[in-house]
Amino acid sequence: MLSESQLAGFRSLLEQEQLDMRERLQTLDRRLARDDNFNEAEDLGDSAIQVLNKEEFLFERNQALERLEVIGQALQRIENGNYGISEVSGKPIPAERLEAMPTATTLVGERRHP
């Protein structure tokens, strides 16, 4: 089991990543808003670049939203007292794994079945 000190460290790490992801989302939202305000491109090449940029920003935004959800779930597990416990086997997840991947929900080698 994780100590209170370890849990506090993981909480702090997750909260910082959550803050970083929120800032990333704000940046992407500003870029998307700026791109939406562009006038129609004068040529096909410029238009294609604008579309590709917007698709890239939307993809990055979706990834950031997904990561925020996973981080939120990890923080909720800390609050619920089941952080660091495998959702598959119920066994403790080693601290080393959580240090490498603080949002881990399984042991290495375990798979969740749908």
CATH number at residue 68: 1.20.120.910
Model pLDDT, residue 5? 97
Range(s) of the domain holding residue 30: 4-100
Domain contains 110: no
Domain contains 92: yes
Residue 50 has which token pair?
A: 């604008």
Model pLDDT, residue 107? 96
C-alpha to C-alpha distance for 5 and 79, rounded to whole angstroms: 14
The owner of tokens 């399984």 is 106
Domain contains 106: no
Spell out the per-residue pLDDT of the chain, length 114, in tens: 899 999 999 999 999 999 999 999 999 998 888 765 555 555 555 666 677 778 888 999 999 999 999 999 999 999 999 999 999 999 999 999 999 999 999 999 997 665
C-alpha to C-alpha distance for 1 and 85, rounded to whole angstroms: 8
Domain contains 67: yes
The per-residue b/e assignment along 75-113, b for 16 or more CB within 10 angstroms, e otherwise, is bebbeeeebbbbeeeeeebeeebbeeebbbbbbeeeeee
Model pLDDT, residue 114? 58
Total of domains in the chain: 1
Give the DSSP letter of residue 102: T
